[in-house]
Structure 1
Amino acid sequence: MFTSVNTRSASVYKRVAVETGVQAADSHRLVGMLFDGLLQAVAAARGAMERGDLVAKGEQIGKAVRIVEEGLKAGLDPAGGEMARNLGALYAYSVRRLTEANLRNDAKALAEVAGLIEPVAQAWQDIRAQALQGA
């Protein structure tokens, strides 16, 4: 019913840190944060699934789907050609697998999504690192 002062303080600190990070980030870093959030939500959903916590599982999968749909997929530039089309297809497939994972309590589907997204997220980080080295 009641949360401790430490728990509330930690929650406020975390929210402020995220808001500050978003405000200070450039567009490349924002996409990186979306990838991080997606992978964290998928991992949290897997943990909730293992514990049998259906409410948390559903919340985390819902969060992952929103990140893909409203962040990553919505941010694609239609003028991006084949790369944008391929990423759009990957994101659509990921949403489908996340939905199936939620409906069927399918941990393998969650692992599949993480396995598909991790290399893209890593490539995104590598692009940033290369750009900073060249600057």
Structure 2
Amino acid sequence: MNPMRALRQYQKVNSHAQISEASPHRLVQLLMEGGLDRMAQAKGALARGDIAQKGLMLGKAADIIIGLRDGLDAEKSDNKEYVQQLESLYVYMTNRLMEANLHNDADMIDEVARLLITVKEGWDAIAISPGAAQ
């Protein structure tokens, strides 16, 4: 058996196990991690001149950010304005990824990655209190 194929299969099974056991908070973390991974893969593909792979990975990163945006619910928030600002940031990030894809611009990918890292750091800092909905 091809060792790389075996590794990918293991990673796939491990990912499915993490997702099936994850709290909603952890699922958002996994999505953000996945978006950052896809952006890194897109930059690697761009550096190799693999434009098709770069486009595929940026498309997946954009889909993840769209999923994060779709998961926002201002009605359940104490700060509706914050949710609207976060939604606007996600729209901006998605647009920048499309622009980065169009122009093969690694700096734009880095910009979006930095923004997502900032959002993820805030999300990671949220402590789920005992008894809170998970």
Structure 2-normalised TM-score?
A: 0.89
Matched, 1:30 2:27: yes
- Deviation string 1:92-112 (CA, Å, 9 cap, x unpaired) is 000100000000001111011
TM-score by length of 1: 0.89
Give 1:44 shift.
Answer: 1.1
The amino acid that maps onto 1:23 is S
Are residues 1:78 and 2:74 paired? yes
Q: Does 1:112 align with 2:108?
A: no
1:15 Cα deviation (Å)? 0.7
Q: How many angstroms apart in 2 are the aligned matches of 1:5 and 1:46?
A: 26
Comparing 50-59 with 18-27, greater Cα deviation is found at: 50-59
- Which residue of structure 2 aligns with residue 53 of structure 1? 50
Identity of aligned residues (%): 40
Select the structure that is richer in helix.
1
**Structure 1 unaligned spans of 5+:** none
Q: Deviations over 1:66-95 (max 9, x none)?
A: 1011x2011000313012101100000001
Whole-angstrom CA distance in 2 between matches of 1:13 and 1:28 = 24
RMSD: 1.6
Q: Which residues of 2 match residues 15-26 of structure 1 at below 5 A?
A: 15-26=12-23
**Post-superposition offset of 1:132:** 5.9
| Residue matched to 1:13 | 10
Correspondence for 1:67: 64
Amino acid at match of 1:59: L
Count of matched residue pairs: 128
Q: Equivalents in 2 of 1:47, 1:10: separation in Å? A: 19
